[in-house]
Structure 1
Amino acid sequence: MTIVRRESLAEQAAELLLVRIRAGEWGIGGKLPGETTLAPQLGVGRSSAREAIRILAGRGVLSTRQGAGVFVIATDISESWKVIVQRADIVAVIEARTAIEVEAAVLAAERRTSTELKDVRRALEERDRHRADIPEHVGTDMAFHRAIVLAAHSPVLLELFDGFASRSRQAMIDMLQVRGRHGDEVDQDIHGRIYEAIASHDAETSAALTRGHLNTLKELLG
């Protein structure tokens, strides 16, 4: 019997319960055992078992019928729920990117060297050449934004950006897949305008364009 770890007991209990449902232990319409029986099977207390049932009910897998018990109404989480969770996760990533990249854009406009500006320009051109394939497009997009963070001369912002890079990359790939399109002329133009603002030492405009771009991405997921 698989026992859950100590952290996030209710969520882990819900995952274990979902695995058992997927394995066919209870089919559609099947009734789950009571909390006193189910809780020790999952290695949690009754309150965690009860919360696990609530979690799966909220995700469209279980239904609680007053006076009758808990019944299986689906063998997997609905696609709509997966999309909701995916979008919520992407929004959180975009908010974190905004906190890092808006300040980096300000500092880059103030501190960039001519060599660093050339690096930003080179990254912008590379981004333009890789619009067809989503992973390649995201990779070149991140290289463009990292070049700006480097030009900000802020070791802390660079550390935050790099520490966040892997998660940010996957979230951006997910976002473009949800959005259904990527790499259009409007998007490339915004990045070009960010470059021009940094080239002109216009900190206010570079910040506003960066914030506006990321806010637009977030709104598209609403």
Structure 2
Amino acid sequence: MPLVTAKRTGLVDQVITQIRELVSSGEWPVDEKIPAEAELVAALGVGRNTVREAVRALSHAGLLEVRQGDGTFVRATNEISGAVRKLCGTELRQVLEVRRALEVEGARLAARARTEDDLREMTARLAAREAAAQERDSAAVIANDAEFHRLLVAASHNPVLISLYDGIREAVTSSVATTFNPALPPEQLLSHTALLDAVREQDPRRAAEEASGFLDELLAQTGSQDEASGQ
């Protein structure tokens, strides 16, 4: 999606719209550096102040992050996710609390609404997660774990819940990465097999219990770490 010269009216809004589309489409990936200000000015055909104002607005919205001396980076793909990451920052506990609220209900609904296709996708994702653990591929473990949870919520077939969860996907992945311990042997990797079994057997109560169980454990660990650090 190439940048195009902006029209003379509503320049800042037009630049904001173009940058937002590049970010949401993934053409400018999360955590990647965006083109330098001079490049944006040339591509868009606008002044430096217009570009700066647009970048400033998107930074306030949480989509971009300006790092002094290093450039501007993509922080999130949408305002909801950006707001969560911006508000939570390093507050892992807050992210886990939000995940618990959405994932427990997602698991409960998935146990009622899941399809055979949903089960196949979740089963394949857990298998990929286990294989990555055996290969000591931490990045793949994290990616597959986060995707499993997304598929679990998607199996609820509740569009509002799915949309809310999609809005915090970067925060979810970040929390998975933060709580994953690559030093643990593969056999000690937290298993989601019981959760998937409960969804497969269409047991909403057990599915909710399984979903809340591991998140409660992570929350307890986070609380202990906060106490140890004096927070």
Tell me which interval the TM-score lies in, with the shorter structure as reference length: 0.5 to 0.7
- Secondary structure at 1:130 match in 2: helix
Match of 2:106 among 104, 107, 110: 104
The letter of the residue matching 1:136 is: A
Structure 2 residue aligned with 1:202: 203
Unaligned runs of 5+ residues in structure 2 are 1-55, 57-67, 69-88, 225-231
The letter of the residue matching 1:201 is: Q
| 1: CA distance, partners of 2:178 / 2:199 | 29
Of residues 111-120 and 195-204 in structure 1, the stretch that sits farther from structure 2 once superposed is: 111-120
Structure 1 residue aligned with 2:143: 139
- Secondary structure at 1:201 match in 2: coil
Structure 1 residue aligned with 2:152: 148
Structure 1 residue aligned with 2:128: 126
1:214, CA displacement in angstroms?
0.4
Structure 1 residue aligned with 2:163: 159
Conservation of the 8 A alpha-carbon contact between 2:142 and 2:173: yes
1:155/1:182 Cα in 2 relative to 1: closer, same or farther (>3 Å)? farther
Matches for 1:14-163 after TM superposition, within 5 Å: 86=90, 89-131=91-133, 132-163=136-167
The letter of the residue matching 1:219 is: A
1:124, CA displacement in angstroms?
1.2
1:181, CA displacement in angstroms?
4.0
Normalised to the residue count of structure 2, the TM-score between the two structures is 0.54
1:163/1:208 Cα in 2 relative to 1: closer, same or farther (>3 Å)? same
| 2: CA distance, partners of 1:183 / 1:114 | 32
| 1: CA distance, partners of 2:210 / 2:178 | 23
1:174, CA displacement in angstroms?
2.4
**Per-residue Cα deviation, 1:63-86 (whole angstroms, up to 9, x for no partner):** xxxxxxxxxxxxxxxxxxxxxx84
The count of residues paired between Structure 1 and Structure 2 equals 135
1:201/1:164 Cα in 2 relative to 1: closer, same or farther (>3 Å)? same
Structure 2 residue aligned with 1:46: none
1:199, CA displacement in angstroms?
0.5
The letter of the residue matching 1:198 is: V
Structure 2 residue aligned with 1:169: 173
Conservation of the 8 A alpha-carbon contact between 1:90 and 1:172: no
1:183, CA displacement in angstroms?
6.9
1:206/1:175 Cα in 2 relative to 1: closer, same or farther (>3 Å)? same
1:105, CA displacement in angstroms?
0.2
| 2: CA distance, partners of 1:182 / 1:155 | 36
| 2: CA distance, partners of 1:116 / 1:95 | 25
Of residues 132-141 and 159-168 in structure 1, the stretch that sits farther from structure 2 once superposed is: 132-141
| 2: CA distance, partners of 1:157 / 1:183 | 34
| 2: CA distance, partners of 1:207 / 1:169 | 21
Conservation of the 8 A alpha-carbon contact between 1:116 and 1:147: yes
